[in-house]
Each structure stands twice: as C-alpha cells, then as structure tokens.
Homo-oligomer: A and B are copies of this chain.
Amino acid sequence: MVLYLGIDGGGTGCRAALADRNGQVLGLGTGGPANINTDVEAAAGNIVAAATQALAASGSGAGPADLVAVLGLAGGTMRAATDRLAAILPFARIRIVNDGITAARGALGSDDGILAAMGTGSVFAVQRGGELRQVGGRGFLMGDEGSGAVLGRSLLSQAMRAADGFHPMSPLLAVILEEFGGTEGIIGFGNTARPADFARLAPRIVASDDPAARAILDAAVAGLRAAIATLQDGDSLPVVFTGGLGPHYAARLAGDWPQRPARGSSVDGALAMAMETGALESGSPETGAPETGAPE
C-alpha cells in the first residue's frame, strides 16, 4: 500500500494531510514547530508526530514507510538542513521544498497563475504550464517588500524622521511617537522586536486616512504592481492574493489583472505534489533515495 503525505511546516507548527492514490483524504494531523533553521531534530520529531496522527486517523493500518511525502517548509531551500532532515525522517520517499512552493501549488492548483502572499513577510510565485517559480521573499532585513513587517517598520522610521523635521508630521506619526516614547522608545523597540511585532502596526496603516500611512501604502502598492507586472511578462494570468494584507492589495489592484481566490492551502499543495511525485515514479517507492531542494 502506498499513501501520500503532504506537510506544511514553519516556526509556529506543522500540519499533515494523508490521502490515497485517488486523492481521497484519509486523515489530518498537526504538530509543533518545524523550524529547520534552528533545530532539525525537533522539527523531525514534530513532523513525524503530525504524520502519525494523520495515519492513526486514517484507520488504514499503514505506517511511515508506506508514505510518499512532500514537505513544504520555511527555510526549505537551506540545503544542509534539508539533507539532515531527509536522513532522519522514516518516510519511503521524501521531497522537501520551500513553503512558498507548496503555498503556490495549493493556491493555484495546476493552473497558470501568480501568487502574491502578503502577510508578516511577502513572497511571490508564478506558474506557467506546470512550471512553478518562486521569487521575492528574502526576509525582513533585505526584502519582503509590501509585507506587514516592512510596512510597520516604514511607519516607525517615518515617525522618527518627522520628529527630526525630515518628513512632514502627521496625526498618525504623532500618535506613534507618543505611544512608543519618542525616537528613543522606537529605537529601543527595534532593538528586540521581531518581524511579527512590526507587522502588528500594519492594520493601523491599512485602516488609516493619515497622509503618512497613505504614502507608505501607495508606495507598497506601486512596488507590488511592478513586481506582478514583471511576473506577468506581458500575460494576464489570474492573480491570487493571500495573507493578512492580501484583501487590501487585491482591492487596490482590482483593475490590473484577473483575480481568483486561493484553491487551497500550503498543506493541500504539498499533498498534491506528493501525489504527482508518486505518479511519476512507478518503481518501488522504498528504494528511492530522498530528494530535497526546490524544484527550480
């Protein structure tokens, strides 16, 4: 018996979905964090726990060695970590990709299209004729344009510039300076804040008519429009916006390209890729070597 396992994993937890060869979902499972950048062994334990839960729910009697697994993980392009993880996991076949890939496969299905995932971070993917390419991302420090964390950081930076007289003061910037305790308080916040902490400011920017907030958002929308236009490359593929800021950007870019809701989640995408992996390989799955890395 061969069954198919999709895993979505990241810093906050992991999810598993198990299906038979017809795509019938037999069981689901969840587990703790699967952050392979910080602790490969702990990630492996939590992934196996989620898979075991899904196996138990299936009532199939199958075990880990019966599974063709695709894992979409944050940090799934970091080769040293994925190689170590693949060596630990007990599944018959293992393919590890970046979670942006499985998110795109879940959101777009097998159709041509573009994913703009706009949450605490940002990442894009484009799919043409079954070829999926992930771009953007690159993290809070040097990338993640238009993300909630970058918008929040821009707001704090503008507040400090306004305090210095380098930018017009606005009502929202004045409120932010007051709340944080001025420039010194903002610098202190930045010394320890994580991207998610900066992203908590994003809803206030999106909801605001404040001129500084609008300028930050207008610049982010212009950047996102340019990025999607680059990925369209003259086409007019449907665009799927996901993440907490997805609806906002979808509304701002409603007239530019056709839009579609996401077909499914990252774990759905991982499961679909597991079934494709199994279908491509007619031989005995137990003998295949683990395969890791993004498909590009």
Contacts and interface: CB of A to CB of B under 8 A. Distances in A.
Interface of A: 77-78, 135-136, 138-139, 141-143, 153, 156-157, 160-161, 164-166, 183-184, 186-188, 190, 226-227, 230
Contact of A138 (B135, B143, B183, B227): B183
Contact of A160 (B142, B183, B187, B188): B142
Q: What DSSP secondary structure best describes chain A's contact surface?
A: helix
A164 B135 contact: yes
A166 B77 contact: no
Contact of A78 (B156, B161, B184, B190): B184
A196 to B, nearest CB: 15
Contacts of A230: 165-166
A98 to B, nearest CB: 10
9 contacts: A78-B188, A135-B164, A135-B165, A139-B187, A139-B190, A141-B153, A142-B160, A142-B190, A143-B160
**Most chain B Cβ neighbours within 10 Å, of A77, A135, A143, A157:** A143
B157 A142 contact: yes
Given A138-B187, A165-B230, A166-B226, 11 more contacts: A136-B164, A138-B157, A139-B187, A139-B190, A141-B153, A141-B190, A142-B153, A142-B160, A142-B190, A143-B161, A166-B230
Contacts of A142: 153, 156-157, 160, 186-187, 190
Contacts of A78: 184, 188
Contacts of A164: 135-136
A184 B81 CA distance: 13
